[in-house]
Amino acid sequence: MITSNNPIKFLLPVILIVLSLSAAGRSRPDSPVPGPDENIGKEIITVDSWAVSFENIASKESLQPETVWQNVTIPGTFRLNDTEPSSIKYIWLRGRFIIDKNPGDFYGISLGRIYHSDAVFINSVLVGYKSSKDFFELHHPRNYTVNPGIIRQGINEVLIRVGIFSDQYGGLSNTVHIMGRSAFEDQLAMDNFKYFLAPFGILTLYLGFAVLLFLLFYYNRVERKLIYCSIGLFFYLILILIIFFPYQSPLFSTPLEMQLSIQISVLKIIIPIFIIVLIFIIQSQYRFNLARYNRMAIIFFSIMTTLIIINSVVFFNPLRAVFTITLLLIVIITGISYLVFMTYKLSSLQDDRIKVRMIAAMLFMAAVTIIREGTSYITGAETYGFFAVFTSPVIITIFLMLFVKDYLNRKIEMALLYDKLKISSKPGAGPDDDRPAITESSEEKLKRVIAFIEENYTCDISREGLAAAVDLNPNYMSRLFMTYTGQKINDYINELRIKQTIEKIEKGDMLILDIALEAGFESMSTFNRAFKKIIGTTPSEYKKAH
């Protein structure tokens, strides 16, 4: 029964919080036009003339004058196909920049994200590095301060040792800049917001959402969409943790290679898992389950996920990267095709066109996310996972709007039904009439109540709602109903529901859980008890016997 203190009423302000958070990262106040003095510290020079050496050398001192350098464009990523699996090999990048003003005006170097480890030298002096001890900052941009005296007037050289893990793409994902202090600090603030504050805010919000939806499902077992969306939120939580907050326990000294293997394996299987969760979220919105198709889809995506995992741990497979890309392409094409087919099929059963459009919008965003993330992995773009994280508030908001819309529609529908029952009832025994005898007036009201129940027994009918609609005391009405029908109100409703479920169980086209929820039962346990009480056996046993 839906009551006035149901926690769902808190979802509306929470949705506003989601929208505010997702908009925060995109809204920046316009900066005023700087005056002459305000340009101090805002100097920015781009490092260019890049070249790459693929010699696997760990030390700068080991680079020889005869080292072969090839011109290359930065930003750029590289894949070392001959790399031994689960190990890091090195490439070297060399760039140059020219200083024609006071070298002391420059404060730091901003390199963006570098995968997977790095050591940065300016004019042969080490200015910064990230190693396995800095695993927490694996996906964070590299920004290093440069001590006075290292940068000089004229031509300066930047040398970067990039450690690339296994057969993954590695390299620089942004343009390299030499910056004045003010510009460098602005860059640090922006990176801190984009790669820490915003993800942490989304992480915290989704954790609260997941717990809230799980509790709502616990108290309202009919709404399976709650548990599916809760699972989807936990999926996003794992994704955010892996990308922005990879964690190494101080109790264990896990090598960087093992950490990266685990992280990359999880990222590879995110797309098929996301598709499976999305299938059940969309079907729960339509309150219909394509059981036969779902079984085939789940088996297929489970097999593909297993193949991706197996392929990830076949250490000496030279075609591992090709197999992974092929499997992901199959998953993406098949997944989007099934989602479109499923939505089209279910939309034909739905009269609410607004709801259909909202679900279509959610599916569109999800499809764009799947294609974007799959393309990022296949092409080696090191933004893999970022698009999914920062566009997720849109998908989550659409889902919450759909849920609140359904909740309000059901509440209004039940109110109208009760009003209709109340209008059609004749005046008679009031709330204070406690006589057990059935009068002509009370019999007329009972007939109206029974007719109402038989038309709406799949809805969330409450004793209090029925009594209020016919102007009777709930306890008094229950006694009258028992005298008139020989059954309690709940037993009468359950019997109607069970009669509806028997035919569907015999057909075997739907899951028993779906049949129970569609008939109006709030959980499998309630359905099993009612079914056994009326039929004398459990639904599963009845299905096997027929």
Measured in whole angstroms, how far is the alpha carbon of residue 337 from the centre of its chain? 20
More confident residue, 363 or 110: 110
Q: Look at residue 417 and tell me whether its pLDDT is greater than 80.
A: no
pLDDT category, 154, cuts 50, 70, 90?
Answer: very high
Averaged pLDDT, 1-5: 38
Q: Look at residue 334 and tell me whether its pLDDT is greater than 70.
A: yes
Q: Look at residue 409 and tell me whether its pLDDT is greater than 80.
A: no
CATH 1.10.10.60 domain extents, the chain: 411-545
pLDDT category, 155, cuts 50, 70, 90?
Answer: very high
The reported pLDDT for the residue numbered 256 is: 60
Question: If residue 91 lies in a helix (H) or strand (E), which one and from where to where?
Answer: strand 88-99
The reported pLDDT for the residue numbered 279 is: 86
DSSP string, 435-501: --S--HHHHHHHHHHHHHHHHHTTS---HHHHHHHTT--HHHHHHHHHHHHSS-HHHHHHHHHHHHH
More confident residue, 436 or 168: 168
Model-wide pTM > 0.75: no
Averaged pLDDT, 227-254: 74
Domain 11-24+192-407 bears CATH identifier 4.10.860:
no
Cross-strand bridge partners of residue 171? 77, 115
Name the least confident of 227-241, 291-305, 307-321, 494-508.
307-321
Percent of the chain's residues with pLDDT above 90: 16
More confident residue, 375 or 160: 160
Most confident option among 100-114, 129-143, 300-314:
100-114
At the fourth CATH level, the homologous superfamily of domain 42-189 is: Galactose-binding domain-like (2.60.120.260)
The reported pLDDT for the residue numbered 31 is: 42
pLDDT category, 295, cuts 50, 70, 90?
Answer: confident
Query: What span, in angstroms and rounded, lies between the C-alpha atoms of 115 and 127?
Result: 18
The reported pLDDT for the residue numbered 107 is: 94
Q: Look at residue 283 and tell me whether its pLDDT is greater than 50.
A: yes
Here the tokens at position 517 are 């929820």
What angle do helix axes 353-379 and 320-347 make, rounded to 10 degrees?
A: 170
Give the up-direction half-sphere exposure of residue 43: CA atoms within 13 A in the CB hemisphere: 18
Here the tokens at position 123 are 């004019």
Cis peptide bond upstream of 75, omega within 30: yes
Name the least confident of 27-31, 115-119, 203-207, 454-458.
27-31
More confident residue, 259 or 295: 295
More confident residue, 473 or 460: 473
More confident residue, 367 or 468: 367
CA dihedral sign of residues 259, 261, 266, 267: positive
What mean pLDDT, rounded, does the chain reach? 78
Instruction: Tell me the three-class secondary structure of 199-216, residue by residue.
Output: HHHHHHHHHHHHHHHHHH
Query: What span, in angstroms and rounded, lies between the C-alpha atoms of 458 and 479?
Result: 23
CATH 2.60.120.260 domain extents, the chain: 42-189
pLDDT category, 99, cuts 50, 70, 90?
Answer: very high
β pairing state of 117-122 and 177-180: unpaired
Q: Look at residue 27 and tell me whether its pLDDT is greater than 60.
A: no
Q: Output the CA torsion 79→85→88→93 (10° steps).
A: -10
The reported pLDDT for the residue numbered 175 is: 92
Here the tokens at position 459 are 């809805």
The reported pLDDT for the residue numbered 255 is: 62
Averaged pLDDT, 504-528: 77
Residues 6+ away with beta carbon under 8 Å from 99: 45, 106, 151, 152, 153, 154, 156, 178
Averaged pLDDT, 379-390: 74
The reported pLDDT for the residue numbered 195 is: 86
CA proximity to 404, closest of 213, 542, 252, 532: 213
**Other residues' Cβ atoms within 10 Å of the Cβ of residue 154:** 8
CATH 1.20.1070 domain extents, the chain: 11-24+192-407
More confident residue, 203 or 461: 203
The reported pLDDT for the residue numbered 413 is: 67
Q: Look at residue 316 and tell me whether its pLDDT is greater than 70.
A: no
Q: Look at residue 166 and tell me whether its pLDDT is greater than 60.
A: yes
Q: Look at residue 324 and tell me whether its pLDDT is greater than 90.
A: no
Read off the amino acid at residue 201: G
Residues 6+ away with beta carbon under 8 Å from 437: none
Q: Look at residue 214 and tell me whether its pLDDT is greater than 80.
A: yes
pLDDT category, 187, cuts 50, 70, 90?
Answer: very high
Q: Look at residue 247 and tell me whether its pLDDT is greater than 70.
A: no
Give the up-direction half-sphere exposure of residue 289: CA atoms within 13 A in the CB hemisphere: 21
Residue range 418-450, pLDDT digits in tens: 676 665 554 444 444 444 467 777 888 888 888
The reported pLDDT for the residue numbered 26 is: 40
DSSP string, 120-176: EEETTEEEEEE-GGGGGGTTSPEEEE--TTSS-SEEEEEEEEEEEETTSEEEE-S--
Secondary-structure class of domain 411-545 per CATH? mainly alpha
